[in-house]
């Protein structure tokens, strides 16, 4: 037999042995594969809370070396922040399908409003009131925009709430709104109304800093979908407002955003500037985002109304990604109905955000809420602290409106452990920042800030991330069962783990001021709806808000109205 024939027979025998399991592929290799040092594996086990035997470590070592090489290969192709994963989170997949209600919203009637002698006295008027003045011709959008820009220039530095004024863009939009309104073209409730956006929404021609020093000079040649929708509705963008760096807290590269009720404390975050500007009467409304409390928290601290819509109800196209499966866009306003008006404009499907879904919004501003059924967790209303008294008062007020309150409990699940979903996705969104070392430029360098979280999250195993998401599916299905016979539920804003629970499940909420713990310390309460149940949730919250009036109080320092003797 020739040498070539002998070699061929030997090769085929080896292949057969590998395929039949008599020898492994590694044993068939002529040279041993590179392996990770065993002592490193033992140390890694301690970090990850695992335990393998010595023989298992030896078997794993070559594979782990190869995996590390794969990691390095992937890092040479790190996607940009605006490139989403191929996996899309859809909370509605865990609920029975339902047909969207095509009925358009119906706004409540607005009392007769007259133009004041001093236009600045409109600083705390609602969107609905300002819209009535604009449509009646008593006020022009240009002069309203000048008034708002003046207050932003005067008070913005004191609050450390303004990143960039969009003055040229705003005045051009205001002039266009005036011309259209004069010609009889009414684009809806927001036509001619000034507003601000959290500075993680791209606006062509202006910086989009994400509140972080490494991105302080960043200009993105794009405009966020929600800004485009507001443009189409005739709204007037006047400012890009501060956010805690990369959407955490109220500290950004330009300062520490202040609470208008108490300038010695922060406005909370991360929609810090949006909440502070609305609270101080610098803008009639602003857009914020929430991943885990970033609308609820600053709205509570600043005493304003905030709407966190259902995950997927509003496009995030053109906005900074922090967590692809948890980020949500919503308005911060003075009143619940203002929030409903903004939501109607910005909601809807967008090809730039594959998580968006088609739903209706059959809101009825003047409809009775008698007979509605809301759940509540009794334990969340117990105790003798002042906050508990304010919370219990809400129960009494809702009963007076004819609403039935139904005791319930919430799913018992390891929610804090499931929060690794946010950590992993955020670390992936900002991998370049971590690997480049530019995370050292971030202002906050403490344990509970993004630079440290990004680094630690790199050691979270993919298996745990997937298991957390599987539990998340169970959570959503469980919530659906508990809310099946209810119109939603109510809760003190920070009771239990409710804030994390509903951000993981994707449920919508509206947070509203419900009193004060002291003269300069607003407090809040939260109405939570079913998935894509914003219409019913907002209708109930509006009825309660109209009956109580806590939203009408304003920070005295920023009130332009003359004080009574």
- The 3-state DSSP class for residue 97 equals coil
Among 515, 510, 509, 511, residue whose Cα is nearest residue 549: 515
Helices (DSSP H) in 98-205: which residue ranges?
A: 127-135, 141-159, 167-182
Phi, psi of 530, deg, nearest 5: -70, 165
Given 141, 242, 274, 294, which residue is catalytic?
Answer: 294
Contact 277, 283 (CB under 8 A): yes
Given 198, 240, 530, 542, which residue is catalytic?
Answer: 198
Among 461, 447, 453, residue whose Cα is nearest residue 431: 453
Helices (DSSP H) in 252-331: which residue ranges?
A: 272-279, 296-302
Given 270, 297, 325, 505, which residue is catalytic?
Answer: 270
What sign for the dihedral angle of Cα 179, 172, 239, 506?
Answer: positive
Q: What is the rounded distance in angstroms from the CA atom of residue 366 to the CA atom of residue 335?
A: 14
Q: What is the rounded distance in angstroms from the CA atom of residue 251 to the CA atom of residue 269?
A: 8
Catalytic (active site) residue 213:
no
Catalytic (active site) residue 108:
no
Helices (DSSP H) in 240-361: which residue ranges?
A: 272-279, 296-302, 336-346
Catalytic (active site) residue 294:
yes
Contact 175, 218 (CB under 8 A): no
Residues in contact with 68: Cβ distance below 8 Å, sequence separation at least 6, in sequence order:
36
Q: Which residues are catalytic?
A: 198, 270, 294
């Amino acid at each position: 037999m020739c040498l070539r024939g002998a070699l061929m027979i030997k090769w085929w025998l080896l292949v057969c042995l590998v395929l039949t399991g008599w020898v492994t592929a590694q044993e068939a290799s002529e040279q041993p594969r590179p392996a990770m040092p065993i002592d490193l594996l033992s140390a890694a086990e301690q970090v990850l809370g695992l335990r393998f035997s010595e023989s298992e470590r030896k078997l794993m070592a070559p594979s782990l070396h190869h995996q590390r090489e794969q990691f390095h290969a992937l890092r040479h192709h790190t996607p940009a922040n605006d490139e989403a994963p191929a996996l899309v989170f859809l909370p509605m997949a865990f609920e029975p399908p339902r047909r969207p209600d095509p009925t358009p919203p119906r706004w409540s009637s607005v009392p007769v409003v007259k133009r004041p002698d001093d236009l600045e006295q409109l600083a705390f008027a609602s969107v609905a009131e300002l819209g009535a003045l604009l449509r009646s011709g008593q006020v022009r959008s240009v002069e309203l925009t000048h008034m708002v820009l003046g207050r932003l220039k005067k008070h913005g530095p004191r609050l450390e709430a303004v990143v960039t004024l969009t003055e040229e863009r705003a005045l051009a939009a205001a002039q266009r709104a005036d011309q259209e309104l004069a010609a009889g073209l009414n684009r809806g409730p927001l036509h001619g109304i000034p507003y601000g956006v959290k500075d993680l929404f791209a606006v062509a021609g202006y910086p989009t800093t994400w509140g972080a020093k490494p991105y302080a000079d960043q200009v993105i040649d794009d405009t966020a979908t929600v800004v485009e929708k507001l443009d189409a509705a005739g709204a007037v963008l006047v400012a890009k407002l501060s956010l805690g760096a990369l959407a955490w807290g109220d500290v950004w590269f330009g300062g520490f955003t202040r609470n208008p009720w108490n300038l010695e404390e922060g406005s909370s975050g991360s929609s810090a500037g949006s909440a502070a500007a609305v609270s101080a009467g610098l803008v009639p409304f602003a857009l914020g985002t929430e991943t885990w409390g970033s609308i609820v928290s600053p709205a509570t601290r600043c005493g304003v109304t905030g709407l966190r819509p259902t995950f997927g109800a509003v496009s995030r196209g053109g906005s900074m990604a922090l967590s692809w499966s948890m980020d949500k866009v919503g308005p911060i306003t003075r009143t619940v109905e203002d929030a409903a008006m903004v939501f109607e404009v910005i909601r809807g499907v967008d090809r730039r955000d594959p998580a968006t879904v088609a739903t209706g919004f059959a809101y009825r501003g003047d409809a009775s809420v008698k007979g509605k059924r809301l759940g509540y967790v009794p334990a969340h209303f117990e105790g003798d602290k002042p906050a508990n008294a304010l919370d219990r008062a809400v129960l009494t007020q809702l009963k007076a409106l004819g609403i039935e309150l139904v005791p319930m409990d919430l799913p018992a699940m390891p929610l804090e452990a499931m929060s690794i979903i946010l950590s992993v996705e955020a670390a992936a969104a900002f991998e370049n920042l971590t690997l480049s070392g530019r995370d050292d430029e971030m202002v906050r360098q403490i344990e509970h800030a993004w630079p440290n979280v990004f680094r630690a999250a790199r050691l979270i195993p993919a298996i745990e991330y997937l298991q957390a998401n599987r539990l998340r599916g169970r959570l959503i299905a469980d919530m659906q069962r508990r809310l099946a016979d209810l119109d939603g539920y109510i809760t003190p804003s920070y009771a239990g783990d409710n804030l994390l629970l509903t951000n993981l499940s994707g449920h919508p909420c509206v947070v509203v001021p419900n009193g004060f713990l002291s003269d300069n310390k607003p407090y809040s309460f939260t109405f939570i709806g079913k998935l894509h149940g914003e219409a019913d949730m907002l209708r109930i919250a509006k009825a309660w808000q109209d009956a109580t009036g806590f939203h009408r109080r304003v920070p005295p320092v920023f009130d332009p109205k003359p004080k009574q003797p």
